[in-house]
Structure 1
Amino acid sequence: MKNLRLFMTTAFVVLLLTSDALAKLPPEGRQVLHRAQMLINDKLYTDAATLITGYMNTTQEAIHAQVYVILGNALYQSGNKNKAILIFQKGLNAYPDNEFLSLNTAITMHELQRYAEAGGMFEKTYVLRKTDRSDLLYQAGSAYYLGEKYLDSARVLQLLLSQSPRPHKDWIRLAIHALLEAGQLAKAKKMVLNYLSVSPEDAEYWKLLAKLHLESEEYPEAAGALEVGYSLFTPSRQDLERLASLYKYQQAPLMAVTTLQRAYGASPEHEEMLTIAALLASAGRIQQAIDYLDRHSREGSAQLSKGKLLYQSRQFDKSEVIFRKELNSDNAPEAHFFLALCAWERKDWKQAKQELNKIIGLRKYQSKIEGYVGVLKDLELAREEARE
């Protein structure tokens, strides 16, 4: 979430020297700043900075706050932002309540990627400014966020939202991500819900809500949020598979089937087809699973799976027909195993033994057939003892 797009809207403040502003300056300072302003208007920023610096180094007058603002601006415009910020900070030491020095310090710090410090200065400017202040809190929250001061970001953004009857979406979104990064998941979830109540068309935030529900192990709510989100755009196969996994975890196989059928379409691949059939079977829909395999299997590729489903539904005669057809394929070992199981169900111990003997040397099946072979040996021993 740290790649959240942030929009800085504050422009650098240039304090224009009006006649009233000049009249408040001492005589020498008034003349110097008037000349400096003309140089700045002509984009001669270095010359303006040199002029003002010379004045500051020689004057006996008290240096006015506007001198620091104009000098900092000249340095900033000349590309020397590091010197500009030193001037703004020096001015702030002398005039800590000057709004323009505070704001320009904040903006220059932000451009120098000193984000956490910029956040503090934007917040200070918010305190100093008496009207039209809301954007300053957003700038403070944005800067704190970029500086990884997430608690501070969340704090100022929540203050901003509490003061705004109709907050901008960008403010809410940034507040949500600040709360998440600060680990305040419950507050973030509540804010997401409030946001979606007024912006239900924002699919990304339905997905975010689902993630928050998952982190709280609220699986039905997570699935519901994803369903709403996916109704607003065409979800990818990966999106739908993720939702299906959630349904499987909730032991809702039929919901998983519906979701995967959306993902795989009318022509599922072999493994996809088997997955859907297995889910149908797990829901007790054996015949539906068999029908699904019949519709979608290519050249009998799913016959072994179909036989297993028939075996699972205790249709042993039908399943044996399929397994015998598989004896000439690569599936022969598995077919022998299930033929043995079918014979076992009929208590045809001789046939069961014959089928098991055909795979007894295969390592893959040793653990599967060990118990059956042991029982058959016990039965033979019992019969021999009975004959004696």
Structure 2
Amino acid sequence: MTAMAEAVVDLDAIAHNAGVLAAASGPAGMMAVVKADGFGHGAAEVARTALRHGATWLGVASVPEALALRAQGFTEPLLLWLYPPTETFDEVLRAGIDVSVGGVEALEALADAADRTGTVATVHLKIDTGMSRGGAPVEEWMQLFTWARKFESAGLLRVRGLWSHLAGAEDPQSAHLRTQLHEFEVGRQTALTAGIDPPILHLANSAAGLQVPEARHDLLRAGIGLYGIEPVPGRSFGLRPAMTVRAQVLLTKRVPAGTGVSYGPDFFTDRETTLALVPLGFADGVPRQAAGRAEFLVHGVRCPVAGRVSMDQVVLDVGDLPVRAGEYAVMFGPGDGGEPTAAEWAAWAGTNPNDILTGIGARVSRRYEGAP
């Protein structure tokens, strides 16, 4: 069966990016963040490649993501950080998965699971240093550390890490970043006061790992940079985008000026032209809000999306290009051949490249090229 639409994932690019980020982390380790099915690229394929090219850890958001990696044979250190209040953690502990903890309730649940399973829980204590998202707020730090120390003394858990998340590291001198760096150090000192001295401190994301040395500590968590998106606007660290999304043209039609296209219609051709139907729509990750600005590459030429994006398809205005059914239209790729990039689509849609990459749906088949 031939796929109408596909996402071609360049594992050589993943390997290259892993090497760049691992080199930037210096003596610290590097975590390959493969949540959301590896940002849409395939968690197992990305994990396997990254681990062979510099990564020492894997990171995911949820329990199912973590257990899936273990089921696929990944035995490397693995951290998860999101779970419901009702999570029992029995399977997680049996699978040897590290758990992020930002509150006493979760510590208690992990201690109970450790007691039931006869397995010591391995945790990373998360503190909020200014993002106001996950992690213990400053007024709860000492309580979190004190209870962690009690459970550690009882042999129920081991504190392996202390971490936080940066709100932004694009500007190395920003006041908010500097405040977070300071607060993380305060958190570390508070933990030491409570008798907690984790062997691993981690704070840096891709942007911080590449340009904020004091944020690297013992582990760099590489997310978007691993997939080749430059994390700092206006700077290039030599990362290579790994995904190309393309689809076959299903049909073409020659139409006169004034022809309405797609729903509404609120788009009308301004001349005689050729329209090309492409089977990619908002159910596949083509953002509706990009209509009127977005382009695909056809025959080496950028062609605009004509009219609204439908659920399953878009129409391209290909002008006088000799386009035929069965030829490919490229939504985005590395940009080497003139095609749009995920970053351009993000700008057209008013979002970020993470949203574009993770939005490419399951109907778009994945095909892998290159490493490991």
Which of structures 1 and 2 has the bigger CA Rg?
1
Instruction: Judging by fraction of residues, say which structure has more strand.
Output: 2
TM-score, scaled relative to structure 1 = 0.21
Larger helix fraction of residues: 1
With normalisation by structure 2, the TM-score equals 0.22
Structure with higher RCO (Cα < 8 A, 6+ apart): 2
